[in-house]
Amino acid sequence: MRQKKKLCLGIDTTFNTLSVALLDTERHSAYVCQEMLRGQGEILISFIQNVLSKLKKTPADLTHIAVTIGPGSFTGVRIGLATARGLGLALKIPVIGIDNFTATSFCHKNQLPHKVILDSKRDDYFIQDFDKQGHKKGKSYICSAQQLATKLPFTACGNGATKLATSIHCKLASPATIPLALAAAQIALTLPKLTTSAHPLYLREADVTV
């Protein structure tokens, strides 16, 4: 019996770029990507409709949803997860989580080893080391630029890499050629061992003002 073709929707709203992608097992793909500081929740559904129309698909054609789970903006992480879970529940299809370190590293898999540097929006960074085979080395951690300077030389990638390089002059990986949403969809369809549950990944608690 011929196996049903898989069609995965990828969603990333975790930082200041909103991206949505569609990928099937025959490598047909479409994506939209836009930098935006706020308002991602208001236009996310229209982005999903956009990529579906590009491949002449409907929500009923989806077999999987992949969503980035952080670390990132607390609000952004929740927007993506809430939308992915809602769609998954309505369509009765699995929702797969991909952490931002894994998705970012996948976008730079030809430039290993490296450190994925994510902007924490403070005076430090969220870090994950990857070896020459693309496997994680140890656990993710939070580190300041001054602390990272003691670990030179290394190649940095991720949305905090350019900012870090202005401080300590680490080597920068070449720019990613695909958005995180498409990376998440590719990982979900081809590298299931790198996926996780669709729950938020935070490296520290949110700031709460009462």
pLDDT score at 208: 43
Q: Is the pTM of this model over 0.75?
A: yes
Confidence grade of residue 3 (pLDDT, cut at 50, 70, 90): low
* Sequential DSSP letters for 104-169: HHHHTTTS-SEEEEEE-SSSEEEEEEE-TTS-EEEEEEEEEHHHHHTT-S-EEESTTHHHHHHHH-
Q: Which CATH number fits domain 7-100+177-194: 1.20.1370.20, 3.30.420.40, 3.30.479.30, 1.10.10.10?
A: 3.30.420.40
pLDDT in tens, 84-125: 999 999 999 999 999 999 999 999 999 999 999 999 999 999
Percentage of the chain modeled with pLDDT above 90? 90
DSSP classification of residue 193: G
- Structural domain boundaries in the chain: 7-100+177-194, 111-172
**13, 79 Cβ separation under 8 angstroms:** yes
pLDDT score at 6: 96
Q: Please name which of 203, 194, 192, 199 lies closest in space to residue 64, comparing C-alpha atoms.
A: 192
